[in-house]
Amino acid sequence: MKVVMGIKDVLKISAKPVREIDAERLVDRFAKLRLNPISELEARDRTKVCGEVKRMTIKPRSGIPSMEIVINDGTGDATVIFSGRRHVAGIEHGHCIVVEGVAFADGNRLVFLNPAYSLLPMSED
C-alpha cells in the first residue's frame, strides 16, 4: 500500500505535539484487541486492558520490594504493582502488556495489584 502525502499533510503532522502523535500510535495499535480503554475504567470492576510500559520503579510497600509500572494505551494511564518483585521477566520499558484484574482507586490513579498479565509481541512499526 503506497501512501502519498503532500506538503500540507507533512506540515499538519509536524505541527502536532509528540504526546498526541504517540497517543494516536498507541490507540491504533491496541484497537484490534478490542479491550476497554484505560480512560473508561471504573474502580472495582474486573477488566482487561493493555498498554505500553511508560515508567518502571521499585518501591517498598510495607517493607516489601514491589515493582511498579505505569502503562498507557493512548487514552490514559494505569499503574500495575507486582508485590514482592524487583523484576518481572519480559516486562521492560516500551514493551506492551495485557493486564487482567480488578483495579482500585488510589487517589487519582487506577491501580492493579498482582494482576494476571500477558506480554504482547514487539511492534513491527
What pLDDT is stored for residue 111 in this prediction? 95
CA distance 98 to 118: 5
Query: What are 89's three cell numbers?
Result: 521477566
| Domain extent listing, the chain | 7-119
* Residue recorded with cell 512499526: 125
CATH 2.40.50.140 matches 7-119: yes
Give me the residues of the chain with pLDDT under 50, please: 1, 125
SS3 19: helix
Query: What are 39's three cell numbers?
Result: 480512560
What pLDDT is stored for residue 5 in this prediction? 63
CA distance 101 to 98: 10
